Structure 1
Amino acid sequence: MTVMAQHTSSQMSVEEFEELATYVAQRFDAVRLEFIDGRVGIKGMTNGSHGEIAMWLVFQCKHARPDLTLNTTGQGLKVESYRNGRARPDAVLAPVGHFSGQGEWADPDGVLMVVEITSYDSDTHRRDRVEKPQAYGEAGIPVYLLVDRDRLKVVVHSDPDPRIGYHNIRVVELGQKAALPEPIRFELDTEDLKGHVD
């Protein structure tokens, strides 16, 4: 969930961002930073429904694929071309144990899916619907799942391409089944999500 974003000087390096992110994390428990498309974004606290959606997804993924873990702890990923961006997806699906020893900003290689759950703020459209699909596709992450609470839809992005983000974008109304393609290979029945869109 992105609460707000600040434009930064094009002079900020990834190293400077990581130093700033560490400084902020040590002083403010409720704030985490991201660095996408040359901008610093502030990722703030989520509401109860946001958390319920994340936990629902954890249970669905573990039931369908016990060999995988949906990490909802704010694991940072190196994204965008040449790994110059830093994102904190709402959830990251990877093999069990994948992030052991990787630190705060993990390489996206081996990540199977990232999840974002929209928030009710002015920055959601730009971040979750425009910048993040591009960044995650550039990083080669096979699937980007967007739970779009504003529009009452689930959007499945697949077939990543570093030039355009993702080739395939499938939009599913809440209440319908959303097929998660290779390498995940299972279906989400989104009926239960209708109760968590407030």
Structure 2
Amino acid sequence: MTPSTAQHPQMSAEDFEELARRAPENVRLELVHGRLYVKGDRITVEDFEELARKAPEAVKLELIDGKLEVKPLPDQRHRGIVMWLLRLFLQLRPELALYPEQGLKIDAYRKGHACADGALAPLDHFIAQEGDWADPDGVLMVVEVTSHDRDTDRRDRVDKVRGYAEAGIPVYLLIDRDNDTLVVHSDPRHGTYQRNPSYPYGSLVDLPAPVNITLDTEKLKDYAD
């Protein structure tokens, strides 16, 4: 399945009605063909954080480039890939933890809010931070696994690449299920990752400093769609 043909709706009418009912007074939401929109197209950070906090349990919201986004719920293969990475890092870097579904403040001014599929950081790194959205300082790497929805191309391959680079996160590992590849974005400078080599499933993938490990990705072939 390619990004152009992926047409899974992102939100049910029932979840939308519940979210709209709980929304801040000055935030008006619309649902058009399964996509969530804010009237006026923009939402403040404060309103977003309140809306995300009140969202139904099955709805994960993000604020990317000033726009409200719905993060698709993971399917079983998506979960399998994240669990594979969790187990690998437990073995290879036991002093670190890969935190799943970690909320991070991103972009140049920390006004973006992304829910990363994984955030690699020292053990107990986030416990001193309050709220659902942590500062990215000290995060060594973020991981995103693409979903088969119509917005994954813009969200994971464009907007989050820029947002994570602007936040200064050293490495962004994108596991792209549309073409069975891993893209290693690294060396963020001036809001842009300078390096982004791509590897097919089954390759030995070097994750540069500060991660400094090599992934044997043969197992990912088991998760190919």
Q: Give the TM bin, normalised by the shorter chain.
A: over 0.9
Shift of 1:29: 1.4
**1:87 maps to which residue?**
114
* Residue 140 of structure 1: aligned partner: 168
TM-score by length of 1: 0.92
Paired AA for residue 12 in structure 1: I
Once residues 11 and 190 of structure 1 are traced to their aligned partners in structure 2, the CA distance between those partners, rounded to angstroms, is 39
Q: Which residue of 1 aligns with 2:92?
A: 64
Whole-angstrom CA distance in 2 between matches of 1:182 and 1:83: 23
The code of the aligned residue for 1:119 comes to S
- Give the residue type in structure 2 aligned to 1:122: R
TM-score under structure 2 length normalisation: 0.82
The alignment status of 1:186 with 2:213, answered yes or no, reads yes
Q: Which amino acid aligns with 1:87?
A: A
Runs of 5+ unmatched residues, structure 1: none
Q: CA 1:162 to 1:76, structure 2 compared with 1: closer, same or farther past 3 Å?
A: farther
Deviation at 1:6, TM superposition (A): 4.0
Superposed, 1:1-198 pairs within 5 Å as: 3=10, 6-8=36-38, 9=40, 11-24=42-55, 28-72=56-100, 74-102=101-129, 103-163=131-191, 165-198=192-225
What number of residue pairs does the alignment pair up? 192
Look up the equivalent residue of 2:224 and give its one-letter code. V
- Aligned twin of 2:17: none
Structure 1 pair 166–21 and aligned structure 2 pair: CA distance change class (3 A): same
1:30-69: per-residue Cα shift (whole Å, max 9, x none)?
1110001111111132111100100000111111111100
How far did 1:75 drift? 1.8
Identity of aligned residues (%): 49
Gaps spanning 5+ residues in structure 2: where?
Answer: 1-8, 11-33
Deviation at 1:148, TM superposition (A): 0.4
Separation in 2, partners of 1:162, 1:57:
29
CA distance in 1, matches of 2:152, 2:224: 15
RMSD: 1.5
- Runs (4 or more) in structure 1 with deviation over 6 Å come to none
Change (3 A) 1:162 1:5: farther
Amino acid at match of 1:14: V
Match of 1:105, SS? coil
* Contact 1:6 1:39 (C-alpha < 8 Å) held by counterparts: no
Secondary structure in 2 matching 1:140: coil
Partner AA of 1:179 in structure 2: D
Offset at 1:119?
0.8
Whole-Å Cα distance in 1 between the matches of residues 172 and 223 of structure 2?
A: 20
Q: Larger C-alpha radius of gyration, 1 or 2?
A: 2
Distance change in 2, residues 1:10/1:119 (3 Å): closer
